[in-house]
Structure 1
């Protein structure tokens, strides 16, 4: 059975608010306005940045940057 869902990041934890937290694996990971490499970059985050996972519906994950509060999309291969 083929599915378009991306594998879930393997390392994640839950914070005090019971939100799912994932981390970035490289420097300058792009957080984008829409789930596309052609979409506007709304923020760049450092390696190991904490992102709150809001939705996992494919190869792009909707996240909120814990530090800034900005919401956008990150490609699943940029997370661990």
Structure 2
């Protein structure tokens, strides 16, 4: 998802199935705080190791997922 669509997700969605970057997570967080909402998210993980895949690389997931837990309902 493009970060400019985060305001709509934060305002209307109950869950989000394609969280694939830290930048998108940070943008969603800001928008969710403005809306005073939480959102269930599913993190998209790149298990193939191919850099072209739009997802978080598996080795970075444990370090990245801890701060994101505050956004997950």
TM-score range, shorter chain: under 0.3
Q: Which has the higher strand share?
A: 1
Q: TM (normalized to structure 1)?
A: 0.22
